[in-house]
């Protein structure tokens, strides 16, 4: 049996006036996803427990079949795993976004999509000026970076994670009430304030201002934690897997569960990602892996920018360039197969951020009987009785028909 899971990140949404009362999934032209719906089952799952933040970290841990209440320790350590950063038991990884804050307001959580080269230069120059030998910066991609606080030799200021807020959740809002709070929150705030002093007249920002681009004003620190330990996926479910994604936290999850991570040229984790390349590499990966997990960030990014048209377009491109070729290849292979399409969490155009709640999924393939639902969308999934209140249980049903 071959298995494919395709995740259009954040594509679940509300019905929107500008789409004549339809959700983006319903408004998009998705013949391949609709074919999966007609041939199999459409259902819903809640991938983020109410007690945890509505993020891709928690939601994708659920999609991989692990209860986040048992395993989730924070987003940053997952990204550290992706970069193969060694962490001791007393070390803390912290997500370190480069952002633009003006007049106390979060103006841009990407700092104008600062380049990776610029981010690397800023963090390299900032490290010796931060005044704390315990910290290290690890540049990632564009605005997405990491900071480590090494605590093995001297105690850090917290024994449990302080409360933090993702910067993409507070676009155009005043930051004062969203700064890190609780034990150790003051330490993180001091790092953030110090970064603003260092970045103010940095040559990178001088060049960006001269070019009419937004400056990088601060590091924004959030979602810190220690490295988790996850049972290998093959031991848990009896199949091996591979991951295709442009996002470090998904790479980290794949690494921690023992999956191969496949690099795809042109995978940008943005709207300009090479959808067709992801589709081609996914088809090729199934020749040597039991399961391929294809994560596409584009619908989520469109939602964060409040761009309804871009979200619909991203969904359509996923359908045309990833889902449709995958279905065709699986049909022609002669193998038994199953395919699942599901977002991780809702990301609402209205609020430009993630939300708790149920997401629609559709699966078909060997041993799966059609349930009579002909289309795939938020609306078509609503009356389904195939509901997982604990989304992490969906994996067992997909693989083994066990709920």
| pLDDT per position as a tens digit, 178-216 | 999 998 999 999 999 999 999 999 999 999 999 999 999
Degrees, nearest 5: CA angle 372-374-379: 105
pLDDT at 328: 97
Could you read off the pLDDT of 280-332 as tens digits, one per residue? 999 999 999 999 999 999 999 999 999 999 999 999 999 999 999 999 999 99
**Do residues 362 and 28 lie in contact, with contact meaning Cβ atoms separated by under 8 Å?**
no
Mean pLDDT taken over the chain = 95
Q: pTM of the prediction?
A: 0.86
pLDDT at 161: 85
Q: Residue 318: which of 330, 327, 329, 331 has the closest Cα?
A: 327
Per domain, the residue ranges of the chain are 2-72+229-400, 92-225
pLDDT at 152: 66
What is the per-residue DSSP string for 51-84?
TS---HHHHHHHHTT--HHHH---HHHHHHHHTT
* Encoded tokens for 330: 């699986």
* Phi/psi at 370 (5° precision): -65, 140
When pLDDT is cut at 50, 70 and 90, the band that residue 402 belongs to is low
Q: What topology is assigned to 2-72+229-400 in CATH?
A: Alkaline Phosphatase, subunit A (3.40.720)
Could you read off the pLDDT of 70-97 as tens digits, one per residue? 999 988 999 999 889 999 988 999 999 9
pLDDT at 329: 97
When pLDDT is cut at 50, 70 and 90, the band that residue 361 belongs to is very high
CA 200 to chain centre: 30
pLDDT above 80: residue 122: yes
What is the per-residue DSSP string for 323-373?
IHHHHHHHHHH-S-EEEEE--SSBEETTTTEE--SEEEEEEEETT----S-
């Amino acid at each position: 049996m071959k298995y494919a899971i395709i995740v259009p990140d954040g594509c679940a949404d509300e019905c929107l006036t500008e789409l004549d009362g339809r959700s983006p999934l319903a408004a998009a032209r998705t013949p391949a996803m609709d074919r999966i719906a007609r041939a199999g089952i459409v259902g819903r799952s809640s991938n983020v427990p109410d007690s945890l933040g509505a993020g891709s970290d928690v939601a994708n841990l659920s999609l991989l079949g692990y209860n986040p209440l048992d395993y989730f320790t924070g987003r940053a350590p997952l990204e550290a795993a992706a970069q193969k950063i060694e962490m001791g038991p007393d070390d803390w990884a912290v997500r370190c976004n480069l952002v633009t804050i003006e007049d106390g307001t979060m103006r841009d959580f990407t700092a104008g999509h600062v380049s990776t080269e610029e981010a690397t230069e800023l963090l390299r120059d900032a490290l010796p000026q931060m005044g704390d030998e315990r910290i290290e910066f690890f540049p990632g991609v564009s605005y997405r970076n990491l900071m480590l606080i090494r605590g093995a030799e001297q105690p850090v200021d917290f024994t449990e994670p302080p409360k933090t807020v993702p910067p993409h959740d507070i676009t155009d809002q005043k930051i004062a009430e969203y700064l890190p709070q609780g034990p150790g929150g003051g330490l993180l705030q001091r790092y953030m304030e110090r970064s603003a002093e260092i970045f103010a007249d940095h040559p990178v920002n001088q060049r960006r201002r001269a070019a009419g681009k937004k400056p990088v004003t601060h590091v924004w620190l959030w979602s810190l934690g220690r490295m988790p330990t996850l049972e290998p996926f093959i031991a848990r479910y009896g199949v091996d897997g591979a991951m295709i994604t442009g996002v470090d936290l998904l790479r980290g999850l794949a690494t921690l569960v023992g999956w191969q991570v496949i690099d795809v040229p042109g995978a940008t984790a943005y709207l300009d990602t090479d959808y067709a390349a992801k589709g081609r590499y996914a088809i090729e990966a199934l020749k040597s892996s039991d399961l391929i997990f294809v994560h596409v960030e584009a619908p989520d990014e469109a939602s964060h920018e409040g761009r309804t048209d871009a979200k619909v377009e991203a969904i359509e491109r996923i359908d045309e360039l990833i889902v449709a070729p995958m279905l065709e290849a699986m049909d022609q292979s002669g193998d038994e197969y199953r395919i699942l399409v599901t977002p991780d969490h809702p990301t609402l155009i209205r609020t430009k951020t993630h939300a708790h709640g149920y997401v629609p999924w559709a699966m078909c393939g060997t041993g799966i009987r059609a349930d009579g639902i002909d289309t795939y969308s938020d609306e078509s999934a609503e009356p389904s009785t195939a509901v997982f209140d604990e989304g992490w249980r969906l994996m067992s049903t997909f693989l083994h028909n066990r709920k």
